[in-house]
């Protein structure tokens, strides 16, 4: 919208432009409700966001056109989603009066890295120190995972429940919540390229105590289900061995519940169709191969992605978080073209159904 371009330049909008912008912001009722927008509050929100936009947009644009390498402008996304979301998280932090831990669940390709990077930029512009922590950073070391694979050969790839150091995660999140002055957090970092792509912990990053932690991962916040459900599980959980693997992974998920208990909020980046994750992975590998780099064949990708769906199937472990009253606090739908679709609060949808 032209009015957003004017706001980036610090220009004042006319009353008719403000009215048009307000109508646009209220045009999707679920999204408006998720961010607390009402006809009575929209003018105040426009004023607040307009003050922020000129200083927030430049660093976001640098990231978007550099690391993100996407040519379309992020301006509308910033105004409609990222800034309202960051302001919502910041307000939750203010009310909590201690560091806040925001959980973010998203399958591969859902946009977790983009979201956490932009949120960190916006939150820091709002005056909040912010740290990103991935469930991948909590992987057990290469040596520990080699031993784990000897004990259970089914754990041939990192990723499923059981391949993470949950105690280390608890130690970090408890230290964050304690908010002790002059304390340095030791955040583990994981190098996926080590040991021929099998990966290993690369060390620890020293981070000062922070206001907000963005804790993301492909099953962050996922809850165990009744084992009986897995007797009629969807493909690719097809064989008795597949079902037993799924049952065992569901049981191991219990070990992660203390981690999820440390979350103050949970949002889900929900693919419009979970099969998109496999499609996008194939597209990325095709591009890599076309550029002369190593890449997996379509068959190898099918095997790789199916492995994760056999451990925690999206229909069984992600979908409930997007539809149930006690699921996620916020759901952001990711469409096939990577645009953002419906944004809503599951509990509110049930209340108004």
CB 199 within 8 A of CB 191: yes
> Is residue 104 a contact partner of residue 267, using CB atoms and an 8 Å limit?
yes
| 3-class secondary structure, 208 | strand
Answer yes or no: is pLDDT of 266 > 90: yes
> Rounded to 5 degrees, what are φ and ψ at 205?
-100, 130
Percent of the chain scoring above 70 in pLDDT = 97
pLDDT averaged over the chain? 93
Token pair for residue 63? 């990231």
What angle do helix axes 42-65 and 83-96 make, rounded to 10 degrees?
A: 110
Among 67-71, 108-112, 148-152, 236-240, where is mean pLDDT lowest?
A: 67-71
Residue of 135, 129, 56 lying closest to 89 (CA atoms): 129
Q: Is the dihedral of CA 228, 232, 235, 239 positive or negative?
A: positive
Q: In what helix (H) or strand (E) does residue 269 lie, and over which residues does it extend?
A: strand 265-271
Length of the chain (residues): 353
The predicted model gives 267-293 an average pLDDT of 91
- Which residue blocks in the chain are alpha helix, DSSP H? 2-8, 15-25, 29-34, 42-65, 75-77, 83-96, 112-125, 142-151, 166-178, 194-197, 240-252, 257-261, 276-290, 298-311, 314-317, 319-323, 346-352
Handedness of CA 198, 107, 238, 162 (dihedral sign): positive
Strand partners of residue 215: 103, 133
Nearest by Cα to 258 from 164, 345, 160, 148: 164
Give the count of beta carbons closer than 10 Å to the beta carbon of residue 296: 17
The two three-digit tokens of residue 18, written as one number: 């403000």
Q: How crowded is the C-beta side of 20, counted as CA atoms within 13 Å?
A: 9
Rounded to 5°, the CA angle 145-135-256 comes to: 80
pLDDT at 84 over 60: yes
Q: What is the mean pLDDT of residues 121-131?
A: 95
What tokens appear for 95 in the block? 């009310």
Work out the pLDDT band at 1, boundaries 50, 70, 90: low
Please say if the pLDDT value at position 244 is more than 80. yes
- Give me the pLDDT at residue 206, please: 94
Q: What is the pLDDT of residue 191?
A: 93
Question: What tens digit of pLDDT does each residue of 138-194 get?
Answer: 999 999 999 999 999 999 999 999 999 999 999 999 999 998 878 899 999 999 889
For residue 351, what pLDDT band results from cuts at 50, 70 and 90?
A: low
Count CB neighbours of 236 within 10 A.
16
Instruction: Evaluate if residue 71 carries a pLDDT over 80.
Output: no
Cα 282 to Cα 8, 149, 287: the distances in Å are 37, 27, 9
Confidence at residue 293, expressed as pLDDT on a 0 to 100 scale: 82
Q: With beta carbons less than 8 A apart as the criterion, state whether 24 and 67 touch.
A: no
Q: State mean pLDDT over 199-220.
A: 95
Give the model's confidence band at 68: pLDDT under 50 very low, under 70 low, under 90 confident, else very high. low
Residues forming beta bridges with residue 139, ordered by sequence position: 164
Q: Any long-range contacts for 2-9 (C-beta under 8 Å, 24+ apart)?
A: 4/53, 4/75, 4/76, 4/79, 5/75, 7/49, 7/50, 7/53, 7/54, 8/53, 8/54, 8/57, 8/75, 9/54
Question: pLDDT at residue 69 above 60?
Answer: no
Residue that has been written with the tokens 């709002």 in this structure: 126
**pLDDT at res. 120:** 96
Phi, psi dihedral angles at 342 (to 5 degrees): -60, 140
Instruction: Report the pLDDT value the prediction gives residue 77, as an integer from 0 to 100.
Output: 93
Q: Quick check: 131 and 210 in contact, CB under 8 A?
A: yes
Alpha-carbon torsion, ordered 193, 195, 200, 205, to 10 deg: -50
DSSP letter (8 states) at residue 4: H
Mean pLDDT confidence for 273-284: 92
């Amino acid at each position: 919208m032209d009015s957003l371009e004017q706001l980036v330049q610090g220009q004042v909008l006319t009353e008719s432009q403000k009215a048009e912008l307000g109508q646009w912001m209220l045009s999707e009722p679920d999204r408006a409700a998720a961010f607390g927008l009402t006809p009575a509050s929209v003018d105040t929100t426009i004023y607040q966001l307009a003050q922020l936009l000129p200083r927030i947009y430049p660093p976001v644009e640098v990231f978007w056109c550099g690391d993100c390498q996407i040519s379309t402008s992020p301006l509308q996304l910033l105004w409609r989603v990222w800034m309202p979301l960051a302001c919502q998280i910041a307000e939750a932090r203010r009310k909590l009066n201690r560091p806040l831990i925001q959980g973010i669940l998203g399958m591969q390709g859902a946009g977790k890295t983009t979201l956490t990077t932009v949120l960190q930029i916006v939150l820091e512009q709002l005056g909040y120190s912010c740290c990103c922590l991935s469930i991948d950073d909590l992987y057990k070391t290469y040596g520990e995972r080699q031993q784990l694979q000897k004990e259970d050969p089914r754990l041939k790839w990192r990723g499923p429940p059981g391949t993470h150091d949950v105690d280390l995660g608890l130690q970090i999140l408890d230290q964050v919540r304690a908010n002790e002055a002059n304390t340095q957090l030791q955040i583990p970092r994981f190098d996926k390229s080590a040991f021929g792509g099998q990966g290993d912990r690369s060390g620890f990053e020293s981070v000062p105590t922070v206001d907000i932690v963005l804790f993301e991962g492909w099953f962050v916040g996922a809850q165990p289900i009744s084992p009986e459900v897995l007797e009629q599980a969807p493909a690719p959980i097809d064989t008795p061995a597949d079902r037993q693997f799924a049952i065992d992974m569901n049981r191991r998920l219990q070990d992660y519940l203390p981690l999820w208990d440390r979350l103050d909020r949970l949002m889900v980046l929900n693919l419009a169709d979970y099969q998109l994750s496999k499609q996008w992975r194939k597209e990325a590998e095709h591009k890599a191969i076309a550029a002369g780099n190593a890449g997996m064949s379509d068959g190898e990708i099918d095997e790789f992605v199916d492995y994760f769906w056999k451990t925690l199937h999206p229909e069984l472990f992600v979908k409930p978080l997007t539809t149930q009253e006690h699921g996620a606090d916020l759901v952001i739908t990711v469409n096939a073209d990577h645009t953002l679709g419906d944004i809503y609060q599951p509990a509110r949808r049930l209340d108004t159904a």
